[in-house]
Amino acid sequence: MVKTTAKEKAILLAAFARIDPVALAVALGSVSGIILFIATAVLLVKSLLDGGDPGPHLSQIGFYLPGYEVSWPGAILGGAYFWVIGAVVGFVLAALWNMTHHLYVAVILVRAMWWKMMAD
């Protein structure tokens, strides 16, 4: 039986590096929370300058996030909600990415061993 060397495994693992699920969860959660906070803040400032309705479209998010409204406390609450949603999505994406790459590297190693056996 043909064995793969440590150098070959190291090259494969470097080419298909893992993503840290916690790091991606924190990063994606932070970005999505900040985006909703900034979007709400921009609408609030714009409504103060124009004197109009502060974003009837963004207030529709309140149907999905209880307690969210286009206001300063709503901006903080919506940012927190979106942080949690982004963190869960980031964690799941990283876990799926790592799982598919692990399976792909396993397939590559099995095929490489098969080709080496056929060559010998």
pTM above 0.75? Answer: yes
The predicted model gives 28-35 an average pLDDT of: 98
Could you tell me the residue ranges of all domains in the chain? 6-119
Rounded distance, CA 111 to CA 93, Å? 27
CA atoms within 13 A on the CB side of 57: 3
Tens-digit pLDDT profile for residues 53-91: 887 888 899 999 999 999 999 999 999 999 999 999 999
Cα of 80 vs its chain's centroid, Å: 16
Which of the residue ranges 2-11, 48-57, 84-93 would you say has the lowest mean pLDDT? 2-11
The predicted model gives 10-39 an average pLDDT of: 91
Q: What is the pLDDT of residue 94?
A: 97
Rounded distance, CA 90 to CA 110, Å? 30
Rounded distance, CA 5 to CA 57, Å? 58
Rounded distance, CA 40 to CA 68, Å? 10
